[in-house]
A and B are shown apart, each in its own frame.
Chain A
Amino acid sequence: MNISSEKQHVVLLADDNVADQRLFQRALLRHDPDIDLRVVSDGEEVMDYLKHRGPYRDPNTAPKPDLVLLDINMPRMDGKRTLREIREDHVLKGLPVVFMTTSDDGRDVRDSYELGVNAYLVKSPNIDEFFSAMETVVRFWLGVAWLPTKMRQMEKEQA
């Protein structure tokens, strides 16, 4: 039943910190060089991407992601507001969203799960831990877990 290899996985990452963007890139590609990582730097751009607005008008340039990785503290639109907009949109609400953040504040954790985040991870200051956490996330969401995108793919094939 492993269909992960049949299609290139798309991961959308939103982080305003370029250094962190690069870290994510290294971590993901280290685990699976075939992952199609799309990087934006705030919540507004996430919504533009998902709703095919502005530079992402052409759906081919902005394939629907299998996983969204969001930072919480971002300019313009932060992670929590972005999550709320995703959950309120009837097309997007099923998207798996994982928070990757520096905040270890209990309030942020509580709020995030109330808003419907799929997982909350704190960016570890230890790079080895960071890499292994990323590997776990990617392996679980792109390999183990069943996702709507996966279902659609299967339905298409059956048809």
Chain B
Amino acid sequence: MSSAMEMPRRAVLVTVMAVGVVLVIAFSRLVSGSNLSGAHTFVAASVVFASFTTGILAIFRYYLRRDSIFFFIGLAFLSASVMDGYHLLAEGAHVHGDVSLLWSPDASRLYLAIALAVSVGALELLRVFEVEEGKWENDLTILLAFVACGALAFWYFSLVRVGQPIVFSSPLNHPVAFAALFAFVIVAIGFFRRWRRGNNDIEPWMVFAAIFAALAEAVTILFSKGPVGEGFGVAHIINDVSYGIVLFGVLASLNTIYREEKEGRQHYAAIVNTTEEAILTIDAKGMIITVNPAAEWMFGYRVEDLIGKNVKVLMPERFRAEHDNHVAGYRPTTPSKVIGVDRQLEGRRLDGSIFPLELQITTALVKDERVFIGLMHDITKRMSAQKQIEQQVKDLEEFNYVVSHDLQEPLRTLTNYCKLLIDDMGGRIPDEAREDIRYITEAAARMRCLVNDLLQLSRATNQELTRAPVNIGDCVETVKRDLHSAIAESDATIKCAHHLPTVLGDQTLLTSVFQNLISNGIKFRNDQPPRIEVGAQRVNGSWEISVTDNGIGIEDGYRDQIFGAFKRLHGRKAYDGTGIGLAVVKKIIERHGGNIRVDSAPDKGSKFIFTLPHHSDEAVFPDGDSLADVWRA
């Protein structure tokens, strides 16, 4: 790209000099009045040169960024340059007395004006109908339109003025110049509108060029009484300037692109060279093509020592064979397990040391060759931090278990000896002291509940899941048996849906889910006997289980709070308990890969809904992933 981009800069200089020289010579000759024909030849030649160059460069500019407008400008000027060339030939023939070839330069100008006016007008029209610019089918339509308009113009010429020198007696006898003037005004307006909308690439240049071209037509109409009138030279000069402006505009546009590309490249180079991610590209055989400085630091090699080497030098032994398979087996059509997937691997430094890294591979075609781009991030720090966190979590869980376990002992002793004290003292114990002892016993009992619940939560969190098909109906039956006294006492009815499913999970933990939800339903009852229903339905491949009660319900604002540990919404006097139950339930459901929510309103009862995987499905257990799975991928 860079050599192609150098070209416009040189072209600017060469063209400016060439056009300048031609214009100076032509102008001086026209003004002096001597050898008028020769001067005209110069002007006509420079016009051919300018329009041809403009056309070629505009097409090139179109190729770079695919802006439709340059495509039309390019084609219009290329066509015009051919006609100008013909005019130049005809002029030469005329000098030698052959008038049959004489053909007015009006043809070229009219064609150019119509082509540009049709193009810019059509693009404006597309805007009105909110059609996106740059679609090739639209471009083709516009192109056909301007070819048709051009053909019409030719037809007019061939019909009216074939082979005849055009002699004008009055300004109104310049119908062609009038048409061109009109078209150039449209061109100026069209490009001005584009300019005003913020397109200031070629647009300002085109506005001025069109104004100059229109001016040239106006001069022709007003002052040319014949083929070589008073306005003849001036009109030619103005027209030439108009061509030059477009040429400059196209060159300026190319220069802008060139500058942007260069800045962009510098920008990307800055990113690649300063990032802490190691970036390297390899070819289809695994040979390293490029390496950035971060890769140098990460692996301890120098860039020149890596380029041309097989990328396997950066891997520990055990990954090398696998890597060859990946590269050799790559097909762009089949989804790859490696491309576009973040993988945790290990890297090998020059000194042989191994470190953990995260690798992301993308692929691209560069000059028709398949290359692989590897982005590597040293995750030594992250891994050790992760290990530390895992250890801390484990310690905390251990602590939780030990604390809740070891706290039970002294509490039991406290309760037991209070009882023994009363027994030992018999009737000798004063009532007040008996009351004091009752407070001690109650406090100990309360703390036992708290410790017990902590233990329950700790188990729900840490206990290994024993995964097996579990029938929900069996769980509910177990709970009914466990709670039979509470059920009988409160006159509760527990109804199961006709067909409760079998899910994949831990029988004990899932039973404790129903234990908690059903005993909550009984505990938080209003004056009616509790009525609890367990239902299930299949939703998107997993089961949605619901436990509905007719209890006191939950107010809107508390719906999220209830799942937190030790959250109680009621005083202890009204409803006993520590408030751990729903936290345990949530933990268990989440460990089974499900989620839980509640629909409830005060005095309308509560409906707890949670999801569980179907037992025949591949269940996704969040704590079931192992690093081995990642390696295998």
| A residues at B contact (CB < 8 Å) | 17, 19-20, 23, 26, 102-103, 106, 123, 125-128, 130
Contact = CB atoms under 8 A, between A and B. Distances in A.
B411 interface: yes
Nearest to B423: A127
B607 interface: no
Contacts of B411: 125
A20 B409 CA distance: 9
B58 to A, nearest CB: 82
Given A102-B405, A125-B415, A128-B419, 17 more contacts: A17-B409, A19-B413, A19-B416, A20-B413, A23-B413, A26-B420, A102-B409, A102-B412, A106-B508, A125-B408, A125-B411, A125-B412, A126-B415, A127-B415, A127-B416, A127-B420, A130-B416
B91 to A, nearest CB: 108
A51 to B, nearest CB: 29
A127 B419 contact: yes
B55 to A, nearest CB: 87
B405 A103 contact: yes
B156 interface: no
Contacts of B268: none
B448 interface: yes
Nearest to A18: B413
A128 B419 CA distance: 9
Interface of B: 405, 408-409, 411-413, 415-417, 419-420, 448, 508
B448 to A, nearest CB: 6
Contacts of B412: 102, 123, 125
Given A19-B417, A23-B416, A125 B508 contact: no
Nearest to A23: B416
A17 B413 contact: yes
B448 A125 contact: yes
A72 to B, nearest CB: 11
B94 to A, nearest CB: 113
Contacts of A126: 415
Contacts of A20: 409, 413
28 contacts: A17-B409, A17-B413, A19-B413, A19-B416, A19-B417, A20-B409, A20-B413, A23-B413, A23-B416, A26-B420, A102-B405, A102-B408, A102-B409, A102-B412, A103-B405, A106-B508, A125-B408, A125-B412, A125-B415, A125-B416, A125-B448, A126-B415, A127-B415, A127-B416, A127-B419, A127-B420, A128-B419, A130-B416
Nearest to A71: B409
B180 to A, nearest CB: 98
Contacts of B416: 19, 23, 125, 127, 130
A23 B419 CA distance: 12
Nearest to A128: B419
B52 to A, nearest CB: 91
Contacts of A128: 419
A98 B8 CA distance: 98
A19 B409 CA distance: 10
A70 to B, nearest CB: 16
Nearest to A20: B413
Nearest to B411: A125
B32 to A, nearest CB: 115
Contacts of B508: 106
A125 B417 CA distance: 11
Contacts of B417: 19
A72 B416 CA distance: 20
B181 to A, nearest CB: 100
A19 B412 CA distance: 10
A128 B420 CA distance: 10
A56 B466 CA distance: 46
A128 B422 CA distance: 13
Among all A-B residue pairs, the 8 with the closest Cβ atoms: A19-B413, A127-B416, A127-B419, A125-B412, A102-B408, A102-B409, A125-B415, A23-B416
A103 B412 CA distance: 13
B620 to A, nearest CB: 26
A17 B413 CA distance: 9
A18 B417 CA distance: 12
Contacts of B415: 125-127
A108 B416 CA distance: 24
A23 B418 CA distance: 12
Contacts of A17: 409, 413
Nearest to B416: A127
A130 to B, nearest CB: 7
A126 B417 CA distance: 10
Contacts of A26: 420
A123 B415 CA distance: 13
Contacts of A106: 508
A110 B429 CA distance: 45
Contacts of A19: 413, 416-417
Best-surrounded residue of B409, B419, B448 (most CB of chain A within 10 A): B409
Nearest to A125: B412
Contacts of A123: 412
A104 B199 CA distance: 79
A155 B411 CA distance: 47
Nearest to B445: A125
Nearest to B444: A125
A86 B128 CA distance: 97
A58 B602 CA distance: 74
Contacts of A102: 405, 408-409, 412
Contacts of B419: 127-128
A108 to B, nearest CB: 11
